[in-house]
A = this chain, B = another copy of it.
């Protein structure tokens, strides 16, 4: 019984995610879903990415948190349209929550919509939002055993950003092992080693994202 209820919830969510996706397609909006453990650096990555690409891409942000609105305030302070979702206890975003934000945005004025999910290395990976792709962050402070222990998110993501590499001298974490184990779970994963604090490695991520937006839009024209 419990299993079939869960299955129904996931199926209902997939239907809503497909409807969201159709709207994004119609508006030629590229959308990605950014996931990680709490405190791995999602909001910091958004701040850096917005600063770097705001001259080229018109961006909007959906912030998902259990409660509080401090992340949306950080983004809105940059002059970027930002909508806060408070899940009221729920440990992930779902398609319905995303749809509820649509009335707050002018999608015709946006090229890229970034969804920052609730900080959780498990549940967000199970719920499609209608996004074009999923991205995830792992902080080196979390340790190099995480791809083997929490494989689903590594499997579902197109890109893995290994953040806080400035901490490498002070933690027991092998970048080699993260790469190796993550690629075992998902051989197609694009991996970047970055520090949102020092800026190291970020330009390669910006290039990847620029290219991804371009390719996604080009493919859409041929659909």
State the CA gap A90–B172 with chains docked (Å): 27
Min C-beta distance of A178 to chain B, whole Å: 11
For the complex, what is the distance from the CA of A67 to the CA of B147, rounded to whole Å?
Answer: 11
Whether A122 is near chain B, meaning CB under 8 Å from some CB there, is yes
- CB of A77 within 8 Å of the partner chain: no
What number of copies of this chain does the assembly contain? 2
Given the complex, which residues of B lie within 8 Å of A150, measured CB to CB?
A: 38, 66, 119
A120–B118 contact, CB under 8 A? no
Q: C-beta contact mask, A151-190 vs B, less than 8 Å → 1, else 0?
A: 1100000000000101100111000000000000000000
- Which of the residues B38, B67, B166 comes within 8 Å of A146, measured between beta carbons? B38
Count of interface residues, chain A, beta-carbon cutoff 8 Å = 38
Tell whether A121 is near chain B: CB-to-CB under 8 Å: yes
Q: Which residues of B contact A139 (CB under 8 A)?
A: 39, 141
Kindly state the separation between the CA atoms of A207 and B180 in the bound complex, as whole angstroms. Answer: 41
Interface string of A131-148 (1 = CB under 8 A from B): 000000001011101101
A149 touches B37 (CB 8 A): no
Of the candidates B40, B120, B143, B171, the one whose C-beta lies within 8 Å of that of A91 is B120
- Distance from A139 Cβ to chain B, minimum over Cβ atoms (Å): 6
Asked whether any CB of chain B lies closer than 8 Å to the CB of A70, the reply is yes
Contact yes or no, A149 B91, CB < 8 A: no
Q: Among the listed B5, B142, B143, B171, which residue makes an inter-chain contact with A167, where contact means beta carbons less than 8 Å apart?
A: B171
Contact A119 B121 (CB under 8 A): yes
A9 interface contact, C-beta 8 A: yes
Is the beta-carbon distance between A141 and B122 smaller than 8 angstroms?
no
Q: Which residues of A contact B (CB under 8 A)?
A: 2, 5, 9, 37-40, 65-68, 70, 89, 91, 118-123, 139, 141-143, 145-146, 148-152, 164, 166-167, 170-172, 197
Across the A-B interface, give the 4 residue pairs with the lowest CB-CB distance, nearest first.
Answer: A39-B142, A141-B141, A91-B122, A39-B143
